[in-house]
């Protein structure tokens, strides 16, 4: 359960709730409850969401061969992967993530769901679509305590159609397009591209990753992490955060 906890609640998704005996999320107009990797493989939609068809075995062996830090990270999290999330959910989630921690981001995600989503099962609410969230206002968002992110969310609602263009764009163009939304910088754009569009060339750099790069990879460019930069980043993020790599 610990490794599944890291995949589902470790910072790439804020949709999942640890209920003790299972993890639950409202996705695809359903409440999903899982206790193991096998649960993802039994359901066609969850199987795709879990990115089950990607050759992670090959990727992990390649990553392990790079250096001792990455080898230790892979050993610590042998099933780590990148979830295939909905682009709109990823966009708003990572706007909420700015200057925030996982617990609070998840709380704001749930607050938006309860206020503007719809009930799928008793007590379980979907994340609001752009149309549903368009009912909000700066004043209402302030009541939910989203802070300075309120104007960013409002601009994202107005520009939600940008998401329809991303798949047709090269990475740099897609990044610039996302950065045309108020408040979105390079880090948030790269998170949206990775977790919302599965652009595996992305390499989001937050505080944790910056510290790791400065200490363990000085002078190395991001090309060092090819051909799996996104997965290398996720391994370094999890390893640094949980095992306090310093």
Q: Are strands 17-18 and 124-125 parallel, antiparallel or unpaired?
A: unpaired
> Is the omega angle on the peptide bond into residue 46 within 30 degrees of 0, that is, cis?
no
What are the DSSP calls for 77-126, one per residue? Answer: STT-------HHHHHHHHHHTTT--HHHHHHHHHHHHHHHS-EEETTEEP
**Options 30, 177, 187, 211, the catalytic residue:** 187
CB 120 within 8 A of CB 31: yes
Nearest 5°: the CA angle 235, 95, 134 is 140
Asked if 187 is an active-site residue, the reply is yes
Catalytic center residues: 187
């Amino acid at each position: 359960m610990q490794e599944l906890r890291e995949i589902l609640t470790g910072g790439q998704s804020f949709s999942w709730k640890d209920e003790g005996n299972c993890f639950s999320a409202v996705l695809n107009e359903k409440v999903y409850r899982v206790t193991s990797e096998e649960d993802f493989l039994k359901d066609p939609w969850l199987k795709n969401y879990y990115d089950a068809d990607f050759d992670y075995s090959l990727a992990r062996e390649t990553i392990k061969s790079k250096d001792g830090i990455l080898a230790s990270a892979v050993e610590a999290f042998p099933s780590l992967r990148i979830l295939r999330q909905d682009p709109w959910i990823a966009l708003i989630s990572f706007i909420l993530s700015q200057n925030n921690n996982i617990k609070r981001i998840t709380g704001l995600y749930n607050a938006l769901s309860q206020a503007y989503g719809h009930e799928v099962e008793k007590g379980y609410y979907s994340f609001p679509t752009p149309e549903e969230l368009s009912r909000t206002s700066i004043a209402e968002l302030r009541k939910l305590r989203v802070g300075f992110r309120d104007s960013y969310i409002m601009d994202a609602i107005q520009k939600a159609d940008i998401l329809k263009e991303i798949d047709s764009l090269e990475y740099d163009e897609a990044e610039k397009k996302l950065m045309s939304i108020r408040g979105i910088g390079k880090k948030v754009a790269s998170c949206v591209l990775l977790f919302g569009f599965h652009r595996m060339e992305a390499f989001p750099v937050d505080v944790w990753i910056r510290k790791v790069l400065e200490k363990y990879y000085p002078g190395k460019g991001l090309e060092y992490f090819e051909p799996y930069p996104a997965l290398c980043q996720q391994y370094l993020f999890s390893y640094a955060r949980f095992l306090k790599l310093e």
